[in-house]
Amino acid sequence: MASLQSIREFARRITVNYLELHFLINNAGLAVSKYEETIDGFEITMGVNHFGHFLLTELLLPLLKRSIPSRIIILSSIAHYRGRLIKPDLQIQPKKYGEVKAYCLSKLANTMHAVELSERLRDSGITVVSVHPGVVKTEILRDVKSFALKCFIAVNRPRVISPWKGVQTIMYTVLSDNLISGGYYSNCALKEPSKIVKNKEEIIWLRNRTRELLGIDKLVTAND
């Protein structure tokens, strides 16, 4: 997910080898302690967590549309509440980098992306949601050295859940017949996202700026 060329090749293989695709779960994610860039020059947290998923989703949308009913499930996080859009390029500069800030920004972008997609694909037969799986015990923070974040993890250790429990809300959004497209789900229930997630102007700005940075000429719509 850190290489646009690799993502394009993966999407090509999927569309060539599979006639149908009913579920796309965007689950790749990372958090790193030091500023790094992807091979394409993006700050790596946003590059993997947002830009990579955005491109992959666009490339697979035609197949998802041919396979309706289908669903796109974007892994977000409770961290999105602390996220703030950084303009004009959606990326923290090296001298201002902080792993928590970068991660929260990427999760905000994920949640807003789900809302934008749900509006763009309205009445297409594709349902789009974002999911906070919980504070799950995984290896995502293996490279994080932030003292503040380590303190946060220590305080919240009793709330840390197993991967088996963490996947429950994801499976709920896969199997439920009562999803609201564009919704943000946690603990197998619809939750209220941060206020900016409902700001249509900011959602459109995020979509258009992401498209520009990725060099995407035209976005897939419900009428394509």
d(CA 115, CA 41): 27
Token duo for residue 148? 């503040």
Residue with more model confidence, 68 or 98: 68
Predicted local confidence at residue 31, as pLDDT: 82
Strand partners, 74: 26, 130
In the CATH scheme, what is the code of domain 4-214? 3.40.50.720
pLDDT at 131 over 60: yes
pLDDT tens by residue, 133-190: 856 565 555 555 666 566 656 665 556 767 667 688 999 999 999 999 999 999 999 9
For residue range 10-56, list pLDDT tens digits in order.
999 999 999 999 999 999 888 888 999 999 999 999 999 999 999 99
pTM: 0.90
- Going from N- to C-terminal start, the domains of the chain cover 4-214
Cα-based distances in Å from 218 to 20, 31, 113: 23, 30, 16
Catalytic site positions: 103
Cα distance between residue 22 and residue 34, in whole Å: 37
CA contacts within 13 A on the Cβ side of 180? 9
Sheet holding 184-186, edge to edge: 23-26, 70-75, 126-132, 184-186, 189-191
189 φ, ψ to 5°? -150, 155
How far is the C-alpha of 155 from the C-alpha of 205, rounded, in Å?
36
Q: What is the pLDDT of the chain when averaged over all its residues?
A: 90
* Residue 184 to residues 20, 57, 80, 143, 169, Cα–Cα distance (Å): 26, 18, 11, 28, 11
Position 165 scores a pLDDT of 79
pLDDT digits (tens, 9 = 90+) for 75-114: 999 989 999 999 999 999 999 999 889 999 999 999 999 9
